[in-house]
Amino acid sequence: MVIFDNLIKIFKEYFEKFTLNNKIGTVIMANNTYNSKDIVVLEGLDAVRLRPGMYIGTTGVKGFHHLLWEIVDNSIDEISNGFGDTISITLNKDGSATVVDNGRGIPVDLHPTLKKSGVEVVFTQLHAGGKFNNKSYSYSGGLHGVGASVTNALSEWLKVEVHKDGRKYYMEFASKEVNGKIKSGMPLGELKDIDVTNDTGTKVTFLPDKRMFGDITFSYEIINKRIKELAFLNKGLKIGLQDLRTGQHDEYHYEGGIKDFIKYIDEGKSRLFSTPLYFSAESDIVKMEIAVEYTDSYTENTFSYVNNIPTTEGGTHETGFKSAWTKVLNDYARNSGYLKEKDANFLGEDFREGITCVIAVKMHNVEFEGQTKTKLGNPEAKTEVERLTIQELSKIFANKDYEKIATTILDKAKIAAKTREAAKRAKEISRAKSSADNFNLVGKLAACTSRKAEKSELFIVEGDSAGGSAKQGRDRMFQAILPLKGKPLNAEKKRIDQVLANEEIRTIISALETGIGEDYNRDNLRYNKVIILSDADQDGAHIRAILLTFFFRYMRNLINDGHVYIGLPPLYKVYKKNYTEYVYSDYELPEAIERAGKGYQIQRYKGLGEMNPEQLWETTMDPEKRSLIQVTIDDAAEAEKMVTTWMGDNIDARKAYIALHANFNRQDKFDEEILK
Ligand code: TSJ
């Protein structure tokens, strides 16, 4: 099974004709040669190599990039405290990364008790406390904030330059083998005063250690996405990325901060405010910034952060905001006479239809909970965010200038409340599993014999004829087939009640048995893998995009939990007497032809329907031979934007995107990108 893609790439594929293809790289462990000199024993840092998971989560791609974020976090802290405004990240040709800021420079004076320079303390003490890493200066939490010493411990070498008080200081560290054991992050000499300088700041270069991470390299895409987010979350910050391996570079700077973030997310939608509502407040418990606006869509889009870390699963800060938002707007509706005495209050969800909001809080001692540890657990965050939000919003809505905005929100909520009633009825229909109506729907489903969800697979197959082949070719023990007659309804353009009226969609909901939206219950899922099988053409890509949009909007956890896959049917059969090879991408075709040798023939498959049951099993369904792409959402804000741009009804935005990015003549370019 191939796991490489994410929702965004799959959508890109639909418009940009990506070839779905991937190669798995092998991990090469390299040996390092260092001259060993006298070494001080540092138990502390060695612990990091012993149990890297405790400090950076994994030694995979995520952990590898974590080394960089540990460093960047320090610069962000410095700039948030009002010192400096610029961070530049460089990916060097030798695999190392450099981070430079124009802050005050890491302290160089001797630590009173440790008798070491501040620089040495920062890079050699785990969880360095006290003077040089005062917890009251920096906001850290979760895996972030374990400190720069962890990056040093897991690097082959690390070099630091500090510009401060007119002097330039330099120090180096390395992890080298002594008597068959690696000593982590050892200082190579003391901090040296090497030159004069006029500026201030810190520059750190480090090379992640191959002995820990194998052949992983820095990903421009991952870093670029994250620094853009950091630029939105830290207004005024100038942050740049330069890749000396490829020449790529990007720079971000948003004077509007999260207000600009909202505009970016809602680009391409019809926005109901001319500018997002913005407020901030601070107490000794939390520091918070919130920006809100509405679009004419029907979904809720909340993005929350704690200490610059996305809280994908929400948590107490989000709950606090939501409850304040509902209260203040209901109060406003009462006091202004918008709601009459006989009218019921609006529900929170009525106020969140079409909302886009970014909630960014900073606080100390954060606790993360939830399946992926991305849910804020601190109870004080709820009460404080709620209190401060009520306080700020009351001020805002007392101002006559905001009357129009308030009315816009109330009008939107009124429609939402009406639809809620309609949706409730529609949901009841979809929930009623035993009803005759539903029985008919699921009648199209060729169920599998096994009731074991962990082994079972559901193939959603484009077209009745391919569906027929799949039914005959499958392993009926664990593979269920759901043929789709037409195109399902594009969920992006419809309200929930309309979505639920669509027969194809209702069939899928009934088959999965989880319920949808807030009712979604992962425990009831009937299939461990939900595999979308559509033709390798534009129509097939469209169906795929429509299905993913539906899952994204109404069953997001099905994707988050890793249950959604794309099946890959072959594009060609290269064959001659006693020889057959199936080819899954244009990229691989020339090689396959070469392997076949003289006298070969090529069959191009225009659709799944052209394959007989045996061929379909052999090429696309047999778990031993098939390739699947697991659908993932790495970046919820970006995925959100893609789904609305591509699946929403703002045609101009979509056209603009395609004109900007799509290049149908450069298949090789996209192959290159995917193969990276
Ligand atoms: F992570 C790191 F240590 F490697 C690192 C730290 C890397 C980079 C690129 C920058 C930094 C960093 C640290 N930038 N700015 C600072 N600032 C301080 O450490 C600092 C400076 C002055 C004072 C003070 O109280 O005078 C306090 C601190 C924490």
Tokens of 110: 């001797």
Look over the chain and give the mean of its residue pLDDT values, rounded to a whole number. 84
Question: What distance in Å separates the CA atoms of residue 119 and residue 170, rounded to the nearest whole number?
Answer: 9
Question: What distance in Å separates the CA atoms of residue 513 and residue 508, rounded to the nearest whole number?
Answer: 9
Question: What distance in Å separates the CA atoms of residue 80 and residue 493, rounded to the nearest whole number?
Answer: 40
Look at residue 665 and tell me whether its pLDDT is greater than 50: no
Q: Tell me what pLDDT residue 431 has.
A: 59
Find the helix or strand (DSSP H, E) in which 538 lies: helix 538-554
Beta bridge partners of 443: none
Nearest atom within ligand 1 for CA of residue 87 = 9
Q: Is the CB of 78 under 6 A from ligand 1?
A: yes
> Ligand 1 pocket: which of 202, 204, 205, 206 to mutate (most atoms <8 Å of CB)?
202
Question: What distance in Å separates the CA atoms of residue 509 and residue 460, rounded to the nearest whole number?
Answer: 12
Question: What distance in Å separates the CA atoms of residue 14 and residue 172, rounded to the nearest whole number?
Answer: 48
Nearest atom within ligand 1 for CA of residue 99 = 9
How does pLDDT run across 380-401, given as a tens digit for each residue? 999 999 999 999 999 999 999 9
Query: What integer is the mean pLDDT of 84-96?
Result: 98
> Ligand 1 pocket: which of 67, 69, 74 to mutate (most atoms <8 Å of CB)?
74
Tokens of 477: 């023990």
Q: Tell me what pLDDT residue 379 has.
A: 97
How does pLDDT run across 224-243, given as a tens digit for each residue? 999 999 999 999 999 999 99
Question: What distance in Å separates the CA atoms of residue 105 and residue 199, rounded to the nearest whole number?
Answer: 10
CA 223 to chain centre: 12
Q: Is the CB of 108 under 6 A from ligand 1?
A: no
> Ligand 1 pocket: which of 45, 66, 75 to mutate (most atoms <8 Å of CB)?
75
Q: Is the CB of 77 under 6 A from ligand 1?
A: no
Q: Is the CB of 140 under 6 A from ligand 1?
A: no
Q: How far is the CA of 121 from the centre of ligand 1 (A)?
A: 11
Bridge pairing between strands 457-462 and 529-533? parallel
Identify whether the C-beta of residue 612 lies closer than 8 Å to the C-beta of residue 465.
no
Q: Is the CB of 511 under 6 A from ligand 1?
A: no
Q: How far is the CA of 127 from the centre of ligand 1 (A)?
A: 14
Q: Is the CB of 161 under 6 A from ligand 1?
A: no
Q: How far is the CA of 176 from the centre of ligand 1 (A)?
A: 26
How does pLDDT run across 499-539, given as a tens digit for each residue? 777 788 888 988 899 988 888 999 999 999 999 999 877 78
3-state secondary structure of 336: coil
Burial (CB count within 10 angstroms: exposed 0-12, middle 13-18, buried 19+), residue 404:
exposed
How does pLDDT run across 154-200, given as a tens digit for each residue? 999 999 999 999 999 999 999 999 999 999 999 999 999 999 999 99
Atom 16 of ligand 1 has which residue's CA nearest to it?
106
Query: What integer is the mean pLDDT of 313-334?
Result: 97
How does pLDDT run across 544-592, given as a tens digit for each residue? 888 888 898 889 999 989 999 988 888 899 999 889 999 888 888 999 9
Q: Is the CB of 89 under 6 A from ligand 1?
A: no
Q: Tell me what pLDDT residue 354 has.
A: 93
3-state secondary structure of 443: coil
Look at residue 20 and tell me whether its pLDDT is greater than 50: no
Q: How far is the CA of 245 from the centre of ligand 1 (A)?
A: 28
Atom 20 of ligand 1 has which residue's CA nearest to it?
106
263 sits in the region (left: phi over 0; alpha: psi -120 to 50; else beta) called alpha
Question: What distance in Å separates the CA atoms of residue 564 and residue 510, rounded to the nearest whole number?
Answer: 16
Q: Is the CB of 187 under 6 A from ligand 1?
A: no
Atom 23 of ligand 1 has which residue's CA nearest to it?
107
Nearest atom within ligand 1 for CA of residue 104 = 21
Burial (CB count within 10 angstroms: exposed 0-12, middle 13-18, buried 19+), residue 643:
buried
pLDDT classification of 343: cutoffs 50, 70, 90 = very high
Three-state SS letters, 193-210: EEEECCCCEEEEEEEECH
Question: What distance in Å separates the CA atoms of residue 305 and residue 126, rounded to the nearest whole number?
Answer: 26
Q: Is the CB of 148 under 6 A from ligand 1?
A: yes
Bigger pLDDT: 108 vs 127: 108
Cα–Cα distances (Å) from 375 to 53, 54, 55, 303, 319, in that order, read: 20, 19, 19, 12, 11
Look at residue 672 and tell me whether its pLDDT is greater than 60: no
Query: What integer is the mean pLDDT of 51-61?
Result: 91
Give Cβ neighbours of residue 252 (< 8 Å, ≥ 6 apart).
227, 228, 230, 231, 232, 237, 238, 239, 240
Q: Is the CB of 107 under 6 A from ligand 1?
A: yes
Question: Which residues belong to the active site?
Answer: 462, 535, 537, 539
Return the residue matching tokens 């418009």.
Answer: 15
Look at residue 16 and tell me whether its pLDDT is greater than 50: no
Q: Tell me what pLDDT residue 4 has.
A: 38
Q: Tell me what pLDDT residue 635 has.
A: 67
